[in-house]
Structure formats: structure tokens, C-alpha cells
Chain A
């Protein structure tokens, strides 16, 4: 009965969403507020119904209702409580439920926030949002019915993919999807702007904060994904340039470009066409990501499944891209370039260059991701494009971007005088060069690492110099140092929020650079009591033990880690044997540190526990990446605080 109620709720929601989308559009076109209001009610109904479906699905999971195929495929009687809830988005069908639920929540927030403030654009934006929800509901009812029955009803389910039994799986998809779906809002307003012909700057200011929020969640999703990969997948890294990672990274790149280019439009009333195109591109890339993960067209670790669902997503993607480009063509004249710049040496130029580099990186990632397809289409030869390629081609682009990160915020808008350039940059450049020399003298061998770290120091110095100088100005007005700094941050929260986000990126860059340049690996077979040494640490193999957990068996190795100073820790990497899996799942164990992570993966072992093979890594500075995520959160919060300037 419950599955039928769920299916029914989703069907009614689909009808309501379609009706709402149409009503809002007609209401917007004819200026009938009654119709728009009716669409609002429909949106509320859609949200309520999808929520009901989510609740019913969770209920089915909690009660082990294996008559529902999705439940039977993703849990079994041994699945722990929390993972029975997160199993909701553990596979294809449920992830689409979550997705549509989020869009419906965003739709409600749009209604609450912009109902009165964005009169002309709002009905169309509402219509677009509801159309997107309707698409996902259509997929759910036709291609991936989440409440489909399973007969005969099995006594026990297949169980959740063991790799998803991890706390990262609670947060990673949620953050990532909040990011993906968040870009629906700027997209909806961009479409509304094109349809109504109000392609001016209003839609940009309306959606600025939305873009930041979506960008933030996407960043967080990527970072948590990296953390999940690092501590669950057991391959020792956090980023593999897998097509699905790329698919999430591309909208992040274009979203980053957007955050910057929007500022030019706000100030100089130019780049209208470009910003609209960027919003369209970002939203299309989120769809492309969904397409990639769910179509099986490009092989990937994360690929959910193959089936008709890919056709749905590709059709929707084609619709969005073609309609978007068509709308742009329609409003071409209104969007026309009316730019005017005072000087090439200006912040505007720095931002334009930033956009060029970000889009080039996006293109590189995209081309690399689909290149195997192209190779097969053109000459019927399979090729791989993986991490070594992406690292090599993207590093120069990213280093240039870091350099610009130092230049952009401090170079003047409009026109930078030689004198101001000297005042703002001479110091930081010297400090950066000095840092390069120091790193070299300290024995850093990799040229790339030196450049990356020196650039980081340069950018950090520009930020520091600016903060010190601005604080001094306030202190000159009689404030004390700390309150002056705090007041500064809050009063110009958007500017300094941006600075803090930049700092966060720098922290991540240091982590990536350190881990790439200095991590060391080995793989060795140890007899009981035998030791291995790596990167200043020694491990000793102390034996194996077997245990039985609620839904799997486990063989745990015990290793004592000793560092140079003699302090010891015990690490216990294990292999988990799930009855539903053909092969065991590695359970890595690690000790995190600011500079060094000790990371152990248990390989083969002798049954009697006399010897074991272990992958032993000392990963350098990986923790900086996670710390960067925290700083990023602070910076974003600061940036989206309501502006205080007028009140002060």
C-alpha cells in the first residue's frame, strides 16, 4: 500500500508541477497575478507531495519493506540504522528523488524571497523552476520508478554498497546536490530575463547570493567527496580525475568564473551576454554531470547504472542548451556588447583573464572527459584520458589563476596607475620571490612545488598587506586593532568574505602541492614482528584477527607505527567481507596530522596471520585540504551576510 501511495504522490506532483509551470508562464505573459498565485500553490503542493514521497521511502527503508525493489536492492536486515536512511540516496532512483526534492525546496525559497521583489521576472523564474522539477518527476515516474514493486518478495535485501556505509555518504551527496540544484535558481532568473527582455542588471543582483550559495555547496560537495575518496576508497588519494569528479568540477569552474564576471556587470554594466551564457553553461554542466553519472556512456567508478534514463537526461540537456542558445540569439541585440574600459591595466582586465583561464580549464576538462568518445567515433580506437593528462595540462592554468588571485583584488577598477601598482604589489612580489629562494634553500626539489608555494605566499601577502593597511586606516580614526579588523570584515563583508575564500583556496592549494610533491609510498610484505620504514616512520606488523560485524566479516591487521621520536600509535587497517560482494572491501586506517598522514591499506595476508602485505603511505599536508574547506565555509558565510554598509 505504501509504495502505491508514494507512486501516487509523485504522479500528482508531476501533474501539479506541469500545471504550475504553465500557469506561471501564462500568468507572467498576460500579467494575471491570480494565475501566478495558483502556480505558487501548485509549487507548495509539489513540495508537500515530494516530501511525502521521501517520508514514505524512508519509512519503507526503516521497516525493511523488501517488496519495494529499491529497498531490497540497497539494504538488508543487517544494514545499520543511519545507513538505512542514507540509502535513500544511495542509488540511482533515490538520488533523483533527493534531487527533485531539493529543487522543490529551492522553489519555495524563491517564492518566499522574490515574490514581491522581482515582479516581472518572478513568474517566469517560477515557471522554469517548476519545469525542472517536472522533468525530474517525469524521470522518476517513467524511467526510474523508485517505488517499483519486487515479486516475489525476498526474505532479505541485497544490502547497501559497502563503500557507501560511511559518514561521508551522508553529507557528500547532500552538499553536492545542493550545489548542483542551487544553480537552477540563477538559471531560472536568466531565462526569465531573456524571455521578458529585461536583460539588464536586475537579474544579476537578484541571483548573486544564490550563485554564492550554490557555489559554496558545490565546493563543499567536492571537498567532502575528496575526503570520502581518501578515507574510504583506499587508493591513497583524494582526487582521481574520474569523469564524475570532472562532471562536478566543471560547473564549479564556470560558477567561479561567474562569481567574478558578475562583479564587472554590477559595476560597469557590461558582459551581459557573457554572464547569461555563463549561467546557462553552468546549469547545462550540472545536467551534463547527471547525464554522465547515470547514462553509463562514459565508464566511471561512480556510474550508477545503464538504462533509458540516459536518454531522458540527454534529451533534457539538449532542450536546455538549444533553448538557451535560442533565447540568447533572440535577445542578441539587447545583450550586445556595450563595454567601455578606461585602461587595460585594471581589475576588469584581471577578471576577464580570470574568466579566460577558468573557461579554458573547463574546456580542457570537458574535452579530456569526452575525448575517448570522440576517438571512438572518429577512428574507432579506445583511448584513456586520466589523471596524468589532467594534472599536466591543468597545472599551468591553475598556477596562472593563483597569480591572478593575487592581482585581481588589489588592482584598481578602471585604471591602475604605475604608482598604485608599485605600492600594492612590489612588497608581495618581493616576498613571493624571497619565499621561492627560501624554499629552494630548504631543499625543495620540485620546481612546480616551488612555483606553487611562492605564488601562494605572494597572494597571501597581498591579502595580508591589504588587511593591515585597511585596519591601519581605521585605527587612525581611533579604533583599536582587533575591533578595527572585525569592523572592517563585517562592514565590507562581501570584499573580505571573498578574501577569506581566496585564503581557503590557498590553503587547499598548499595541501594539494604538498601531497603531490612529498607524499611517499611503498608496498611491502611483512612477517609478524617485522618492520618497514618510510618517510621517517616505522611500522611493525603485530598480527591479524578475525571478527564478525552486523552485516559483514572482518579481518583486521594490527600495525604499530613509530615515528622518529619514539611515540607509538596502533593502526588497524582491515578487509571487510560482505556476503553480497564478490570481493572484500578494504578498510583503510590512518593517522591524520597537519603535516603528515600515515595511511595504511591491508593487502593480501596469510590465513594464519603470520604475514601480510600492506600499502604504506606517508601523505604530506593532505589535512590542509580539509582545513581549507572549513575556511571556505567561514568566508562564504561572511560574503553572504546582509551588507552592513548602509546601516553603518
Chain B
């Protein structure tokens, strides 16, 4: 440490500073899901129309499971039309879009559905069980479930037409499970 070595002293701070600088590249709000590749948890909810929504019944189809809330402004408001467009474009090709409204008030949820003229099934998640089963930490979040019933893609923040189309096309290209 005498004489010349002492000039290395400032270098000791470099790793710490580098680590802090590395922090700029990260987004603390993006948390990867450990559920990718795992079977999607089954659930049964009652939609706003009063019809049962059961995931297990949709095996063999590609499911786009979207978590939203009426208080989630602006992201949920941005993606709602894209979801509706996707649903209309792909429903005949075996794709199902499901909306789960979390931590919301009934009338606010209904108004949201009405405002965007959503025609795919939407159901409230009254006790948050489905949200937690899917590891949801914010809205909007969208899960793409393949025909085998496994979660393949999780998208955080507003969904766009492009992401919808590309992901769904990929999953549709995969062979259907043997019945």
C-alpha cells in the first residue's frame, strides 16, 4: 500500500459506481414471471353478463387472458380497442380473449365494457384469487396461453395490435394437442 500502490485506492470505488450506472439500464417496474411455460392455473369466474367463464373448457384454443381495471388510466384505455379488434379478427380461428377486471367497482367495470363496446367475455375477480394465481402485480397485464394450456407469453403494459397479432399467430402455428 505504500508509495505507488496507493494510487490504486480510487479504483476500489469503481465497481460500486459501475453497479449504480448499470442501474440506469434496468426498469424496476418490470418483473419477469416465473409462470412462463407452466400450465395456466384453472379458474371459473362469472362474467358481467352472468355467464360462467371457465378456462379448462377452452383447452385446445389459444387464450389471450387480459387483466384490467377501470381505474387503470391510461394504459387499459389504450389497449381495450386493440383487444376488441384482435378478438374480432381471430375469434373464428380458435382464439379466445378473456378479460379479468381486478380490484374494481361493479358499475365502473360495466361502464368501461360499455364505453369500449367490448364483446369478448369479461369477468370481475372479486377476491383477487385469479390475479394472484397468475402473479399479477399491476394492470394491464396480458397472458397468452397456448393450445396445450401453458402460459407462453406475459405482456406487461398496454397491448398493441402488433403484439397481439404476432403472438397469436405464433401460437396458432403450433399443432393442436391430440385429443
Is B20 in contact with A373, judged by CB distance below 8 angstroms? yes
Which stretch from A257-265, A324-332, A435-443 is at the chain B interface?
A324-332
* A298 interface residue (CB < 8 Å to B): yes
Is A374 in contact with B19, judged by CB distance below 8 angstroms? yes
Is A325 in contact with B13, judged by CB distance below 8 angstroms? yes
Is B19 in contact with A322, judged by CB distance below 8 angstroms? no
Is A291 in contact with B20, judged by CB distance below 8 angstroms? yes
Is B13 in contact with A322, judged by CB distance below 8 angstroms? yes
Contact of B20 among A328, A370, A382 (CB under 8 A): A370
Which stretch from B25-33, B41-49, B113-121 is at the chain A interface?
B25-33
* B50 interface residue (CB < 8 Å to A): no
Is A582 in contact with B73, judged by CB distance below 8 angstroms? yes
Is A325 in contact with B12, judged by CB distance below 8 angstroms? yes
* B17 interface residue (CB < 8 Å to A): yes
Is B6 in contact with A329, judged by CB distance below 8 angstroms? yes
Name the CB-closest residue of B to A308: B24
Is A295 in contact with B23, judged by CB distance below 8 angstroms? yes
Q: Interface code A438-454, partner B: CB below 8 Å = 1, 0 otherwise?
A: 00000000000000000
Question: A349 to nearest B CB, angstroms?
Answer: 24
* A404 interface residue (CB < 8 Å to B): no
Is B73 in contact with A297, judged by CB distance below 8 angstroms? no
Contact of A298 among B2, B9, B12, B23 (CB under 8 A): B23
Which residues of the other chain, B, contact A329 by a CB distance below 8 angstroms? 6-7, 9-10
Is B17 in contact with A321, judged by CB distance below 8 angstroms? yes
Name the CB-closest residue of B to A243: B28
Is B10 in contact with A326, judged by CB distance below 8 angstroms? yes
Which residues of the other chain, A, contact B28 by a CB distance below 8 angstroms? 296-299, 372
Number of B residues near A (Cβ < 8 Å) is 24
Is A382 in contact with B73, judged by CB distance below 8 angstroms? no
Is B17 in contact with A314, judged by CB distance below 8 angstroms? yes
Residue of B6, B10, B20, B24 most packed against chain A (CB within 10 A): B20
Q: Given the known inter-chain contacts A299-B29, A326-B10, A329-B9, please indicate yes or no for A311 contacting B23, CB distance below 8 A.
A: no
Which residues of the other chain, A, contact B7 by a CB distance below 8 angstroms? 326, 329
Q: Given the known inter-chain contacts A317-B17, A325-B13, A374-B19, please indicate yes or no for A295 contacting B71, CB distance below 8 A.
A: no
Is B26 in contact with A297, judged by CB distance below 8 angstroms? yes
Question: A372 to nearest B CB, angstroms?
Answer: 8
Is B10 in contact with A322, judged by CB distance below 8 angstroms? yes
Is B13 in contact with A321, judged by CB distance below 8 angstroms? yes
Name the CB-closest residue of A to B13: A321
Contact of A377 among B9, B12, B19 (CB under 8 A): B19
Q: A298-329: which residues lie under 8 A (CB-CB) from chain B?
A: 298-299, 310-311, 314, 317-318, 321-322, 325-326, 328-329
Q: Interface code B11-23, partner A: CB below 8 Å = 1, 0 otherwise?
A: 0110011011111
Q: Interface code A324-351, partner B: CB below 8 Å = 1, 0 otherwise?
A: 0110110010000000000000000000
Which residues of the other chain, A, contact B72 by a CB distance below 8 angstroms? 582
Q: B91-128: which residues lie under 8 A (CB-CB) from chain A?
A: none
Which residues of the other chain, A, contact B6 by a CB distance below 8 angstroms? 329, 332
CA distance A377 to B1 in the complex (A): 30
Q: Given the known inter-chain contacts A299-B28, A329-B10, A376-B26, please indicate yes or no for A582 contacting B71, CB distance below 8 A.
A: yes
CA distance A328 to B23 in the complex (A): 28
Residue of B16, B22, B24, B28 most packed against chain A (CB within 10 A): B28
CA distance A321 to B31 in the complex (A): 32
Q: Total A-B residue pairs with C-beta atoms closer than 8 Å? A: 63
CA distance A587 to B31 in the complex (A): 31
Question: B108 to nearest A CB, angstroms?
Answer: 11
Q: B53-79: which residues lie under 8 A (CB-CB) from chain A?
A: 71-73
Is B24 in contact with A325, judged by CB distance below 8 angstroms? no
Question: A294 to nearest B CB, angstroms?
Answer: 12
Question: B170 to nearest A CB, angstroms?
Answer: 24
Question: B107 to nearest A CB, angstroms?
Answer: 11
* A583 interface residue (CB < 8 Å to B): yes
Contact of A311 among B9, B17, B24, B26 (CB under 8 A): B24
Q: Given the known inter-chain contacts A322-B10, A326-B10, A329-B7, please indicate yes or no for A373 contacting B19, CB distance below 8 A.
A: yes
Question: A50 to nearest B CB, angstroms?
Answer: 28
Which residues of the other chain, A, contact B17 by a CB distance below 8 angstroms? 314, 317-318, 321
Question: B164 to nearest A CB, angstroms?
Answer: 25
Q: Given the known inter-chain contacts A299-B29, A370-B19, A374-B19, please indicate yes or no for A310 contacting B10, CB distance below 8 A.
A: no
Which residues of the other chain, B, contact A374 by a CB distance below 8 angstroms? 19
Which residues of the other chain, B, contact A326 by a CB distance below 8 angstroms? 7, 9-10
Which residues of the other chain, B, contact A373 by a CB distance below 8 angstroms? 19-20, 22-23, 26
Contact of A328 among B2, B9, B19, B24 (CB under 8 A): B9
Question: A382 to nearest B CB, angstroms?
Answer: 5
Is B71 in contact with A583, judged by CB distance below 8 angstroms? yes
Question: B24 to nearest A CB, angstroms?
Answer: 6
Question: A236 to nearest B CB, angstroms?
Answer: 21
CA distance A296 to B23 in the complex (A): 9
Question: A259 to nearest B CB, angstroms?
Answer: 24
Is A297 in contact with B20, judged by CB distance below 8 angstroms? yes
Which residues of the other chain, A, contact B73 by a CB distance below 8 angstroms? 582
Question: A320 to nearest B CB, angstroms?
Answer: 10
Question: A484 to nearest B CB, angstroms?
Answer: 51
Q: Given the known inter-chain contacts A295-B24, A297-B24, A329-B6, please indicate yes or no for A382 contacting B13, CB distance below 8 A.
A: no
CA distance A326 to B12 in the complex (A): 11
Q: A344-380: which residues lie under 8 A (CB-CB) from chain B?
A: 370, 372-374, 376-377
Which residues of the other chain, B, contact A317 by a CB distance below 8 angstroms? 17, 20
Which residues of the other chain, B, contact A372 by a CB distance below 8 angstroms? 28
Which residues of the other chain, B, contact A382 by a CB distance below 8 angstroms? 31-32
CA distance A297 to B22 in the complex (A): 9
CA distance A107 to B9 in the complex (A): 30
Q: Interface code A457-477, partner B: CB below 8 Å = 1, 0 otherwise?
A: 000000000000000000000
Question: A364 to nearest B CB, angstroms?
Answer: 15
Is B10 in contact with A297, judged by CB distance below 8 angstroms? no
CA distance A350 to B52 in the complex (A): 71
Name the CB-closest residue of A to B22: A377
Question: B11 to nearest A CB, angstroms?
Answer: 8
Which residues of the other chain, A, contact B26 by a CB distance below 8 angstroms? 297, 373, 376
Is A297 in contact with B9, judged by CB distance below 8 angstroms? no
A-B contact pairs, 8 of them (CB 8 A): A299-B28, A299-B29, A314-B21, A317-B20, A322-B13, A328-B9, A374-B19, A376-B26
The 8 residue pairs across chains A and B that have the minimum distance between CB atoms: A297-B23, A299-B28, A325-B10, A329-B9, A329-B6, A332-B6, A321-B13, A322-B10
Beyond A297-B24, A297-B26: 9 further Cβ-contacts under 8 Å? A314-B17, A318-B17, A329-B6, A329-B9, A332-B1, A373-B20, A373-B23, A377-B19, A582-B73
